[in-house]
């Protein structure tokens, strides 16, 4: 057994949300440890070719934290959003300029964003990184500390933290060890992610094309490619994965029509089954769950990472207000502040995913009328725009573009 280590905060999980939280807490001068499953020099699996749609609130915060400045390739601005559904009339078109904005957000490739986070983490002088290491379980603790056991190549060690943060993903081992249950719903869909080229280069428009099997989204990347997300019924996923490039592009063309001209090439495809997993509570004794460990939601509307980052930055704000980051008052304040944003985002994502994928002919006129109503009503559009840009509920100061 190796010597005990003590930290203010131990974050289990070095992905998008865990790494961002570590950067935010380092700004406060906190003693933070990051427990990461991947070794130095390698990237977590989450940093793949997925396309991240970063809301304005997220871009504001990541710029303030210095992460956006570390990106080596240009981002793709989302200047307008076009939403429609196969077989239904009506559509919704939102223009950022109508709201005094240059863009609703930016599109970033997850791999490139991971490199930017890694560069930012590498510049932190106080951060301790345990990698590769995995969470084993909790151990008897001490007053004002929680003890957790982690294993690495040298054996097992016990870390003591005033606060333990579970940022270890959808199937969170920390959340399970804390005894926090989940509510789950399998949408019966698999999403395919790739980059494609078309005869029309990205012009700042993000397309969301809804269908019975799931959504198809086209995101304007900064490299003249389009990021595509294509939902299929779970039982068809293996057949779609086996398609050659020509058949794959033909399938996408049928799903999206000719909005960006003819699709000419596709990069490698990745596939992900979509299951909603929501933690029944966010806190335990000297512990908190956030990001995908707190809620893994349907990617329709691109809300997942944006919601998780607001989790992290709200927690950072509460920690900054108190000497003890894990005291009961701090965690209660965190949970209360996250409730409205979390509840509204979960309801929006789940409701939209279920409604738009329901093939019932009885719903078709209601969906069409809904699209027409939103497109015609500025108040309804403003509601959607606020959520799309990440301004729901009690928004952290960095997300509002303010100094923390």
What does the alpha-carbon distance between residue 398 and residue 146 come to, in Å, rounded to a whole number? 29
4, two tokens: 């005990």
Which pLDDT does position 336 carry in this prediction? 96
Residue for token pair 């397309």: 207
Q: Tell me, what's the pLDDT at 216?
A: 87
Q: What pLDDT does residue 346 have?
A: 85
Q: Tens digits of per-residue pLDDT, 321-360?
A: 999 999 999 999 999 999 999 998 888 777 666 655 444 4
What is the structure's pLDDT at 363? 36
Which residues are CB-neighbours of 28 under 8 A, at least 6 positions away? 316, 319, 320
Going by their DSSP bridges, the two strands 76-78 and 51-55 should be labelled as unpaired
CA torsion sign, 314 to 319 to 325 to 330? negative
Q: What residues have CB less than 8 Å from 283, skipping those under 6 apart?
A: 289, 331, 332, 334, 335
Helices 56-64, 304-320: axis angle to 10 degrees equals 50
Can you tell me the distance from the alpha carbon of 153 to that of 101, in angstroms, rounded to the nearest whole number?
A: 50
Asked whether residue 187 carries a pLDDT value surpassing 50, the answer given is yes
Cβ(49)–Cβ(43) below 8 Å: no
Tokens 């399938």 map to which residue? 251
Nearest to 49 by CA among 223, 236, 291, 187: 223
313 contacts: CB under 8 Å, gap ≥ 6: 20, 21, 24, 61, 396, 398, 399
What's residue 91's pLDDT?
62
34-60 pLDDT, tens digit each: 999 988 877 777 777 788 889 999 999
Q: What pLDDT sits at residue 386?
A: 61
Give yes or no for residue 61 having a pLDDT over 60: yes
Q: Does domain 5-183+275-388 have CATH number 3.50.50.60?
A: yes
Question: Quick one: which H or E segment has residue 175?
Answer: helix 173-177
Sign of CA dihedral 58, 59, 64, 65: positive
Q: pTM of the predicted model, to two decimals?
A: 0.89
In the chain, what are the helix, strand and coil shares in percent, each to the nearest 5? Answer: 35, 30, 35
**What's the token pair of residue 347?**
């309801």
Comparing C-alpha atoms, which of 47, 62, 49 is closest to residue 310?
A: 62
Rounded mean pLDDT of 368-387?
A: 45
**Residue 24 backbone class (left: φ over 0; alpha: ψ -120 to 50; beta: rest):** alpha
Residue listed under structure tokens 């490139």: 112
Residue 381 has pLDDT above 70, yes or no: no
Higher pLDDT, 218 or 389: 218
Q: Reply yes or no on whether the pLDDT at 241 is more than 90.
A: yes
Sequence-ordered alpha helix ranges (H) in 242-302: 245-256
- What's the DSSP call for residue 254? H
Residue 352: the pLDDT is 67
> What was the pLDDT predicted at 393?
79
3-state secondary structure of 187: strand
pLDDT at 369: 36
């Amino acid at each position: 057994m190796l010597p005990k280590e003590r930290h203010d905060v131990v974050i289990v999980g070095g992905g998008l949300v865990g790494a961002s939280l570590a950067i935010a807490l380092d700004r406060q001068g906190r003693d933070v440890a990051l427990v990461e499953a991947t070794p130095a020099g390698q990237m977590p699996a989450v940093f793949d070719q997925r396309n991240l749609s970063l809301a304005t609130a997220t871009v504001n915060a990541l710029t303030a934290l210095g992460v956006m400045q570390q990106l080596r390739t240009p981002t793709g601005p989302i200047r307008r959003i076009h939403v429609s559904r196969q077989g239904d009339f009506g559509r919704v078109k939102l223009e950022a300029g109508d709201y005094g904005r240059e863009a609703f957000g930016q599109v970033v490739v997850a791999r490139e964003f991971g490199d930017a986070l890694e560069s930012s983490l590498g510049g932190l002088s106080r951060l301790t990184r345990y990698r590769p290491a995995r969470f084993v379980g909790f151990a008897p603790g001490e007053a004002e500390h929680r003890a957790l056991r982690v294993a690495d190549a040298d054996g097992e060690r016990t870390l003591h933290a005033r606060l333990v943060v579970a940022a270890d993903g959808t199937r969170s081992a920390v959340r399970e060890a804390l005894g926090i249950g989940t509510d789950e719903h399998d949408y019966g869909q698999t999403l395919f992610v790739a980059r494609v080229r078309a005869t029309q280069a990205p012009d700042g428009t993000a397309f969301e094309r809804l269908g019975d099997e799931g959504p198809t989204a086209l995101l304007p990347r900064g490299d003249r490619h389009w990021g595509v997300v294509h939902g299929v019924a779970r039982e068809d996923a293996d057949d779609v994965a086996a398609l050659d490039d020509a058949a794959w592009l033909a399938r996408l063309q049928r799903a999206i029509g000719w909005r960006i001209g003819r699709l000419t090439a596709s990069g490698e495809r990745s596939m992900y089954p979509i299951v909603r997993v929501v933690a029944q509570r966010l806190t335990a004794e000297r512990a908190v769950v956030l990001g995908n460990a707190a809620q893994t939601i349907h990617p329709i509307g691109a809300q997942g990472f944006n919601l998780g980052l607001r989790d992290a930055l709200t927690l950072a704000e509460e920690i900054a207000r108190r000497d003890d980051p894990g005291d009961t008052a701090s965690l209660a304040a965190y949970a209360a502040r996250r409730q409205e944003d979390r509840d509204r985002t979960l309801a929006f994502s789940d409701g939209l995913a279920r409604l738009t994928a329901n093939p019932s002919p009885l719903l078709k006129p209601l969906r069409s009328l809904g699209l027409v109503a939103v497109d015609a009503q500025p108040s309804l559009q403003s509601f959607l725009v606020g959520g799309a840009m990440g301004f729901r509920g009690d928004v952290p100061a960095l997300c509002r573009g303010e100094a923390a």
